[in-house]
Structure 1
Amino acid sequence: MIDLYTFTTPNGRKPAILLEELEMPYTIHSVDITKNEQFAPEFLAISPNNKIPAIVDRDNDLAVFESGAILIYLAEKGGQLLPIETAARIKAIEWLMFQMASVGPMFGQLGHFRNFAPDQLPYAINRYEKEVQRLLGVMESQLAKTPYLAGDYSIADIATYPWVSAATTPYMGLTFDEFPNVQRWVNAIAARPAVQVGMDVLQPTFKSQFGTVAEAKA
């Protein structure tokens, strides 16, 4: 059994999607970052960086933090979505690291400066929008050659989709007009039932065969 500590953010949705794809039983524990619950001592014991998501594998009594590490761990535990053969495996890990090092941070900064900065700073917004557009261009070039980022569907796609799917929402205000292969990729992943459930984690409409939401502590 996996205990998933998460919230309704792109990073928080990644492990829920993978757990659904793996059909692996899990219990969801809400860590409401809008209420600073990530700084609670009991969560710090699981996630030393005070960030969601984190998991505890009750089968092995093992806690894992950082979303990329969680995806690798769960894929290996489930024996799916991370190839064993060396060349294919490193390709999936490359694109997973692309998301961790570039897509998440840059999309996140754009969203922050567009929506949450006390003052609208055109320099910051322009800087991060240009970088997000550049990253979409990198994806576009790759997806012109392969159906998914690393060839076959993998944890690289699961990690990247929640961020990229937010690009065309009012939160970021972008379009995929110049990125038809990115749009095709987004549509293909959005159609997957496991992705639909995982993206809905901690929403009132969440309904899963494999995941249950833990009762809130009194």
Structure 2
Amino acid sequence: MVPIDLHFWPTPNGWKIAIMLEECELPYNLNWVDLSQKAQFKSSFLALSPNGRMPAIVDPDGPDNEAIAIFESGAILQYLGNKTGSFYPIGQRQRSEVEQWLFWQVAGLGPMAGQAAHFRNYKADKIDYAIKRYTDEVIRLYNVMNTQLVDRNFLALDYSIADMACWPWIRGYKAYGIDLKDFSYLRAWFKRVGARPAVERAANIGKDQFKASQARSQSSI
């Protein structure tokens, strides 16, 4: 099988795609998109991701045996689920539940957690209103997940792309000023998903680059 090109930087949105590729045992090549150097705005990357946001993939073995480029992490997860028939159920009821939680992450958890991390850790002038607003919203969203997981091991009963999408955004809980001990079911789910070998492998990708990027960002504050 021809490897997929993953245009990646070690952030939650990048990790979620690496998790799916590892879970499906799909061969892939890493193409680093250094956000600290604004590589996402280079013309070569914009040709793949017009919005200038990472990640993106290029699958040389796409539909009709022709290469295809895909941007937006949720769309990539759906594409890979359809391609492999894995972690994205075929039944309409089950698929609908997976998609609800996938879109919930893309539209809510990711943006709110990203803003909380920004205003808490990267904004030079601390704005109390912004910190409280986004931290409170992440807490609310964590509570939504915690409630969903009261009677199940995974968000949509079986492990799916919805769990892969959400897990990296729970991984960063300390950056959002949150303690997982306040969310017992969510904490158990986080450990359960994190113990999967594919998740462990994906979560280790780019650790050194991530630390270096954080240091550069902090030094510029």
Instruction: Indicate the residue corresponding to 1:88 in structure 2.
Output: 94
Per the TM alignment, residue 71 of structure 1 is displaced from its structure 2 partner at its CA by: 0.3
Tell me, yes or no, if the aligned pair for 1:96 and 1:156 is still in contact at 8 Å. Answer: yes
Rounded to whole Å, the distance in 1 between the matches of 2:104 and 2:176 is 20
Per the TM alignment, residue 203 of structure 1 is displaced from its structure 2 partner at its CA by: 3.4
Q: What is the SS of the residue equivalent to 2:74?
A: helix
TM-score under structure 2 length normalisation: 0.90
Rounded to whole Å, the distance in 2 between the matches of 1:62 and 1:13 is 21
Per the TM alignment, residue 172 of structure 1 is displaced from its structure 2 partner at its CA by: 2.2
1:124 aligns with 2:130: yes
Matches for 1:39-188 after TM superposition, within 5 Å? 39-60=41-62, 61-167=67-173, 169=174, 171-188=175-192
Instruction: Indicate the residue corresponding to 2:216 in structure 1.
Output: none
Q: Which has the higher contact order (CA 8 A, sep 6+)?
A: 1
Tell me, yes or no, if the aligned pair for 2:20 and 2:164 is still in contact at 8 Å. Answer: yes
Per the TM alignment, residue 177 of structure 1 is displaced from its structure 2 partner at its CA by: 2.2
1:197 aligns with 2:201: yes
Rounded to whole Å, the distance in 2 between the matches of 1:89 and 1:64 is 21
Rounded to whole Å, the distance in 2 between the matches of 1:55 and 1:200 is 19
What is the RMSD of the two structures over their aligned residues, measured on CA atoms? Answer: 1.1
Q: What is the SS of the residue equivalent to 1:146?
A: coil
Q: Give the aligned residue type for 1:45.
A: A
Rounded to whole Å, the distance in 2 between the matches of 1:57 and 1:203 is 25
Identity %: 46
Per the TM alignment, residue 204 of structure 1 is displaced from its structure 2 partner at its CA by: 5.3
Instruction: Indicate the residue corresponding to 2:217 in structure 1.
Output: none
TM-score under structure 1 length normalisation: 0.91
Deviation per CA, 1:101-129, whole angstroms, max 9, x where unpaired? 11000000000000111211110000011
Tell me, yes or no, if the aligned pair for 1:30 and 1:202 is still in contact at 8 Å. Answer: no
Instruction: Indicate the residue corresponding to 2:213 in structure 1.
Output: none
Q: What is the SS of the residue equivalent to 1:8?
A: coil
Following superposition, which runs of at least 4 residues in structure 1 exceed 3 angstroms of deviation?
A: none
- The alignment covers a number of residue pairs equal to 203
Instruction: Indicate the residue corresponding to 2:219 in structure 1.
Output: none
Rounded to whole Å, the distance in 2 between the matches of 1:127 and 1:102 is 14
Rounded to whole Å, the distance in 1 between the matches of 2:206 and 2:190 is 22
Distance verdict in 2 for CA 1:203–1:118, change over 3 Å: closer
Q: Give the aligned residue type for 1:191.
A: A
Instruction: Indicate the residue corresponding to 2:215 in structure 1.
Output: none
Q: Give the aligned residue type for 1:179.
A: F
Rounded to whole Å, the distance in 2 between the matches of 1:102 and 1:164 is 13
Q: Give the aligned residue type for 2:33.
A: V
Q: Give the aligned residue type for 2:83.
A: K
Tell me, yes or no, if the aligned pair for 2:135 and 2:177 is still in contact at 8 Å. Answer: no
Instruction: Indicate the residue corresponding to 1:214 in structure 2.
Output: none
